[in-house]
Structure 1
Amino acid sequence: MLKSLQIVFLCILIVLISFPAVAELTKPGYFSNHDGIGHIIRLAEFDIAIKDGAIPPRLDKNLMYGYGYYFFNFNYPLVYYLGEIIHLLGFDFISSINILTLITLVLSGLGMFLWQRRHWGNMGGLVAGLLYIYAPYRFLNMYVRGSTAEHLAFVMLPLLFMFTESIAEGNRRKQTRHALLGGIVYSLLLLSHNITAFIFTIILGLFMLFHISLRPKISTLLHFILMGIIGLGLSTYFWLPSLAEKGFVRLDNTIARDYPQHYIYIQQLVNSPWGFGGSVAGPSDGLSFQIGEVQLVLSAVGIFALGYLWKHKRVKAYHLILYISILVLSVIFMLPVSSPIWENLPLLPFVQFPWRFLSWSIFAMAAIGGAASFVVGAVLQRINRFLPWVFVVPVVGGLFYFNQDYWKVNQRIQVSLHGNHPIPGSTTWADEQFPIWFEPKPVSIPKNNVEVVSGVAEVKINSWKTSRHTYDIDSKDK
């Protein structure tokens, strides 16, 4: 009972400590960023599709000047399903996106805490959860890029790895339950953000191999496979058409060619100016790719703590080595030295921005920070059993101090939606989900939904829904 109360208390503490990070999201209205307005417009289009009975939605019917745009067929639908649920509860589209972003950040920290406390105790789990929340890349996604879908994927990651770990550590009956839960979470990850799901599937595979090497059991391998089958099976409706039909749109000719322009330089990970601009070739990007001062310090402590763990907690040392390896790999994938990997690993160019591997970095550094806290706490406990918790105070203070400029928005703006009417453009920078055979691309809204190409006829529109158009044609030609 006491143990459960401690966990509940620490979860509440994480929620409270998270407030400065999400305070801007509690204010009315919206703010300027890269992609956020696109999310709001697409949520409105998703709502129209749902009410039109087009389930699952695949087409944004009003985009591209009313010709439609297949965004939902190729991109992360979960953020819009969740946003639609919030909207149907009575919130407008802007508030729905803000609420979802807020909840997502807090839940991601809680998930990391629940996972890492298994290894590093309550204090280590608490520190890991806070490092996961207060990482500059999280604020970059929230307030600079407006990448709500990628932000959402961070909730699934610690839960997915926690259930994967539970499969390896449990008996056969528990393995089946955890494979089912892990499969559900994996399906949610696949529906959350395509690119994050892809790059973390790589890490998930390494994680599975790691646990099989620690506890080589055939039942573990079979349940890992079962988890993957469940995850892929539950999300088949999305990823199968997306892969099968990607040749019909412009994906291969747009985003897959951009990655050479977006490698970063090692100094940018340590110190790069915060900004609201874009990613460009070279080290003069308009946005920051730093991984966080507190994260860096605790990662350094974690590396030194490896010796202590190797001597006293060998299995925990193995876990720490894994996280350090993930961190090193993440840095390599972001630097120009990794060009041969990008050029030869299938599908990797679709990641588009090498700096997206910062997601690996902050994921690993949260765990490394938890390990550092565990070892520091073990040393301090020799002096006084309450002293380890004092260590949390400077960690929280450092996270607040070094991130205080990152949880601010650029400027407040007014967002006007078009309703159920044609919208110029696609909400993506290269119209990459527009059909390849529609050339030239439209540049204006057509005068009528249906036009008579030749002859004389009267057209009466009866219904113009997302996936079904009905109209009567009265031909005057004899």
Structure 2
Amino acid sequence: MRFKNGIRAGLWWTPLVALLAVSPFFWRGTSNGHDLPFHVNSWIEVGRQWKSGILYPHWAAFANFGSGEPRFVFYPPISWTLGALLGLALPWQAVPGTLAALVCIAAGISMYLFASEWLDAQTAVLAAVLYAVNPYQLIVIYERGAFAEMIASIWIPGILLFAMRERSSFARNTLLLAVHMALVWLTNIPAAVIATYLLAFVAIIRAVQTRKLEPVLRAAAAFVLGLGLAAFYLVPAIYEQQWVQVSAAVAAGASPRDNLLFARTGDLERDAVLFRTSIFALIEFCAAVVCVGLAKPLRRSLLQLYNVLLSAIVLVVILLSPLSLPLWKYLPKLQFVQFPWRWLLVLNVAMMFFAAVAFARTRISRLAVFAIIPLVIAICYWKFQQPIYPEDRPVALAQAVGDGAGYEGTDEYTPTQADNSNFAPYMARIAVQITTENDEQRKVAPSTLAHSNADVWDTLHKHFTMDSQVPTRSTLRLLDYPAWQVTVDGTPFQQTYDQADGRMIVALPAGHHEVDISYRKTPDRRWGQWISLFALILTIGIYAMARSDRRSLPT
């Protein structure tokens, strides 16, 4: 009953502050966050593919100005699915702000569920409202436009809840924890790495506190089961890393070493952003110290919880300082967090919990929160909002895709042999070259020697005919990638690629030829789907047995 009444009360406030956070978008337009074009282009692409019957996209056909990239193999599906769904119902200009508001509301509800496990409903609602528009969430909305990371903030409180929960059965808590781990892996890889290390950290602390192995066993089982549930995405993403330049994700400027607090890279624009973020992080650290100090009642009544949350804050402070360099270097996959300040996702869960306890003491202090929140929103908007240029507006991005111009590709999703800096809009689908008797190659405009006709040029299927009196060498507006299967006249054909940019090349002898190119379902995708199916059946089975055991207990 506490949940029902509390959530009902919270729903009066959480949407209100969420709408307040995005309200400047109504008259100033969407903030041009660093990642905004990437996400909007993904939503537009997915929406178009759904309309053509592709339910789960893998290849982004309009990336690299129409040459494509395997973006959806590697980028988790939850954010681009939600954005595309909203795009089906709303104008593209309204989607970023709407998604941001919905995420803030969902994050607040998640925080309520976490806080209500230990606090009264009124205090839990206060925690929910504070977390819904916590300062780091506002930075992500205004400056970064990192919608997947924003969505990941929904799952962090749930991971903490089910890692620490003492009531309910081991099986139930483990299953719910596994679902949250699967969701975070399907949302954002850096946040998933953070969540995994956070889970291990909390499990070890809880094992020491309780002097039992149960927290560690729960965390381990949930981690494995969560990976299994997300395997349909993870297995292809892990296996196909060998086919792309994934190391670009942690190249110079994007590595943890280059993004610790007050680090300098020599790039003036990047350093200015990092300096601003560092100042912001220091202010958050100071605010966290104040909130912890004011939340002394929590230490007296819930010492173990207090220590876990305080330890999480200390962990974040360490990881953002140069002291953590050995950790970033040697801990497995931690470098793929890229930016250490992403750990503020964790700090704000703990800080808003402490802040709710501190401000819930009196009626005046509770009312003060609703004066502070608009002030924090205004300050964050003033300092971090990014003016949007006409070409970056969602409407303009949708127009570029609709016109066939496409958009820039992503470095880490570029095939190993490709260079995505050499692409331009409106490149020819088929650039034909003929070979003369002297073995010299030259481009041909309309020519009587060779003629091509592309009668099908869809996302996953290309088909064209070639009629030529001489051998031809055709460079396609399509990045070569191992998932593409080429047949010529019904026979498997080994294509090559352009050394300059990685586009596919089909070299044909003289005559009439039917060329068919299809994006095939590679074995790694099948393995991932089978693993996820097995994990889902196992999850349902364990849940059914746990429910049966619960019903059989005497009342």
User: Which TM-score bucket, shorter chain as reference?
Assistant: 0.7 to 0.9
Alignment partner of 1:179 is 2:174: yes
Alignment partner of 1:398 is 2:372: yes
Question: 1:434 aligns to what?
Answer: 414
Give runs of aligned pairs for residues 143-292 of structure 1, distance below 5 A. 143-166=142-165, 168-171=166-169, 175-215=170-210, 223-257=218-252, 258-265=255-262, 279-280=270-271, 285-287=275-277, 289-291=279-281
Alignment partner of 1:419 is 2:401: yes
Alignment partner of 1:34 is 2:34: yes
1:312-354, Cα deviation, whole Å (9 max, x unpaired): 42xx111111111111110111112222222222222222222
Percent identity over paired residues = 22
Separation in 1 of the partners of 2:38 and 2:132? 24
Q: Residue 391 of structure 1 aligns to a residue in which SS?
A: helix
Q: From 444, 451, 465, give the equivalent of 2:424.
A: 444
Separation in 1 of the partners of 2:313 and 2:235? 31
Q: Is the alpha carbon distance of 1:443 and 1:224 closer, same or farther for their aligned partners in structure 2, counting shifts above 3 Å?
A: closer
User: Which amino acid in 2 is paired with 1:123?
Assistant: Q
Question: 1:103 aligns to what?
Answer: 102
1:212-271, Cα deviation, whole Å (9 max, x unpaired): 4455667766554443333212211212221222232222145244332221149xxxxx
Question: 1:381 aligns to what?
Answer: none
The runs of 5 or more residues in structure 2 that have no matched partner are 436-448, 470-509, 512-555
Q: Is the alpha carbon distance of 1:102 and 1:299 closer, same or farther for their aligned partners in structure 2, counting shifts above 3 Å?
A: same
Aligned 8 A contact 2:328 2:335 in 1: yes
User: Which amino acid in 1 is paired with 2:317?
Assistant: V
Q: Residue 423 of structure 1 aligns to a residue in which SS?
A: coil
User: Which amino acid in 1 is paired with 2:181?
Assistant: Y
User: Which amino acid in 2 is paired with 1:13?
Assistant: W
Q: Is the alpha carbon distance of 1:406 and 1:260 closer, same or farther for their aligned partners in structure 2, counting shifts above 3 Å?
A: same
Separation in 1 of the partners of 2:262 and 2:389? 33
Aligned 8 A contact 1:66 1:423 in 2: yes
Separation in 1 of the partners of 2:227 and 2:274? 40
Q: CA deviation at 1:161?
A: 2.6
Aligned 8 A contact 2:414 2:420 in 1: no
Larger radius of gyration: 2
Give runs of aligned pairs for residues 7-22 of structure 1, distance below 5 A. 7-22=7-22
Separation in 2 of the partners of 1:2 and 1:241? 43
Q: What is the TM-score of this pair, normalised by structure 1?
A: 0.82
Q: Is the alpha carbon distance of 1:19 and 1:101 closer, same or farther for their aligned partners in structure 2, counting shifts above 3 Å?
A: closer
Aligned 8 A contact 2:108 2:128 in 1: yes
Q: CA deviation at 1:391?
A: 2.2
User: Which amino acid in 2 is paired with 1:411?
Assistant: P
Aligned 8 A contact 1:152 1:192 in 2: yes
Question: 2:292 aligns to what?
Answer: 302
Q: Residue 252 of structure 1 aligns to a residue in which SS?
A: helix
Q: CA deviation at 1:133?
A: 2.8
Alignment partner of 1:333 is 2:324: no
Separation in 2 of the partners of 1:37 and 1:284? 21
Question: 1:269 aligns to what?
Answer: none
1:373-409, Cα deviation, whole Å (9 max, x unpaired): 46xx3xxxxxxxxxx3332112332233244221354
Which piece of structure 1 moves more, 97-106 or 240-249?
240-249
Q: CA deviation at 1:46?
A: 1.8
Aligned 8 A contact 2:162 2:173 in 1: yes
User: Which amino acid in 1 is paired with 2:387?
Assistant: Q
Alignment partner of 1:317 is 2:310: no
Aligned 8 A contact 2:261 2:278 in 1: no
Q: Is the alpha carbon distance of 1:404 and 1:99 closer, same or farther for their aligned partners in structure 2, counting shifts above 3 Å?
A: same
Q: Residue 459 of structure 1 aligns to a residue in which SS?
A: strand
Q: Residue 280 of structure 1 aligns to a residue in which SS?
A: helix
Separation in 1 of the partners of 2:453 and 2:3? 68
User: Which amino acid in 2 is paired with 1:195?
Assistant: P
Question: 1:407 aligns to what?
Answer: 381
Separation in 2 of the partners of 1:317 and 1:238? 40
CA-based RMSD = 3.0
1:47-96, Cα deviation, whole Å (9 max, x unpaired): 233334444212211111321122222223211111112222x2133322
Which piece of structure 1 moves more, 215-224 or 137-146?
215-224
Q: How many residues align?
A: 443
Q: Is the alpha carbon distance of 1:284 and 1:445 closer, same or farther for their aligned partners in structure 2, counting shifts above 3 Å?
A: closer
Question: 1:119 aligns to what?
Answer: 118
Aligned 8 A contact 1:135 1:292 in 2: no
Alignment partner of 1:59 is 2:50: no
Q: CA deviation at 1:195?
A: 0.2
Q: CA deviation at 1:197?
A: 1.0
Aligned 8 A contact 1:75 1:193 in 2: yes
Structure richer in strand, relative to its length: 2
Q: CA deviation at 1:196?
A: 0.7
